[in-house]
Amino acid sequence: MVEVGGSKNDSVAIMAGALLVPGKTVLHNVPHIRDVFTLMEIFRHLGVKTDFRPDGALEIDATRLTTSEAPHDLVRKMRASFNVLGVLLSRFGHASVAMPGGCDIGARPVNFHVKGLEQLGCRLHLEHGIYTGEVRRFRGANIVLEFPSAGATQHLMIAACRASGKTIIENAAAEPEIIDLADFLNACGAHIYGAGTASICIEGVEELHPTEFTVIPDRLQAGTFALAAAITGGDITIRNAVQDHCRPVLAKMRDCNIEVTSVEEGYRVRRVGKIGATDIKTMPHPGFPTDMQQPFAALLTLADGVSMITETVYESRFRYTTELARMGADIRVEDRTAVIHGVDRLTGAPVTCTDLRGGAAVVVAGLAAEGQTEISGLEHLDRGYEGIVPKLQSLGANVTRTPIH
């Protein structure tokens, strides 16, 4: 049995939303991961008091912000940090935030964010990789996203909370993290309707108030553990996982002869027979999540037959396939499609984490490979997986982490 921690993508979005709230916000089930610590460091630079309490809850006191300029070197470390731009504009009327960083998986432009903020009434200027902006007060607008970007949807939801008038976001993202962010903001006094659908309505309010809130479980972490069990022929129970959030991944696992059954507070994963081949096409929620195609590809390297994965969200998300090939995988990448011919076995090799989810792919593959697999670049994995080594060890995996001297 393994227990899933709080969602990375949910935590960082809610933390950004907490900056809108003058007072002390308490968040439960926030994971101890690098992205969270980076955002906490950014908050402290802004004058926000934030720390984990002894009971594990994260406390954020954004009563007093001392600067509207986010530290550019920290913002460039993670994409979600760009969401502080809308908050700082709302609180100060002016802000300066660098272009965000994160995993190198292809172009992830912030133009959806920028265009939406401008429609809410602010003026933004980009120079030397830094956005500066000013606004007297955000005003409600009808915003139509060109793509249902989760990050842009979250950013604009937060920015519109204290706008004058009504904001409607059309073609909005519908991930579970969008719904949970809306639940958090509403608990703080916001008026948000329609989260989880393609049309979200935000009626601006004058002020938000502090609240205590619990972050949802990490569906991507749950999926990674499920794939680890499937590739090794294991039988595990994943607790604190919401099966409905993982539905697209679990449906594809069933296609591959993986048995998934509901249990109290989670689900059980067990492989029955050979791993079956399948085809996957990543899509915005409720389609197959782009963040799960990499670890799922590791499973398909040992499938009986030929599988195809088509990536429609990010154009450079197949860099990890070179690492799987080092382990004996037969993968050919053609534009945005990876063709995977299942092989009889994988063998251990020195590999690296090319990005966060690419790191999950080589970990999943390494669990099933014959011999020893040595994985470098763990700083990527640390951005999204809390305690992955002890959790895998608790399931019987022979895995250790060696400190770098």
- The set of catalytic residues is 103
Indicate the residue type of 296.
F
What angle, 0 to 180 degrees and rounded to 10, lies between the N-to-C axes of helices 84-92 and 111-119? 20
* Paired tokens of 72: 């550019």
Q: Is the dihedral of CA 386, 390, 394, 397 positive or negative?
A: positive
The bridge status of strand 350-352 relative to strand 235-239 is unpaired
Element (H, E) at 114: helix 111-119
Among residues 204, 267, 197, the alpha carbon closest in space to that of 230 is found at: 267
Q: How many CB atoms lie within 10 A of CB 310?
A: 16
For the chain, what is the radius of gyration of the CA atoms?
Answer: 21
Strand, coil or helix: what is 68? coil
Give start and end residues of each alpha helix (H) in 256-355. Answer: 293-300, 321-326
Do 297 and 342 contact (CB within 8 A), yes or no?
A: no
Among residues 137, 145, 158, the alpha carbon closest in space to that of 116 is found at: 145
Tokens 């792919």, located at residue: 361
Element (H, E) at 67: none
Do 185 and 15 contact (CB within 8 A), yes or no?
A: no
Tokens 């809850």, located at residue: 57
Among residues 357, 355, 353, 306, the alpha carbon closest in space to that of 326 is found at: 353
Strand, coil or helix: what is 282? strand
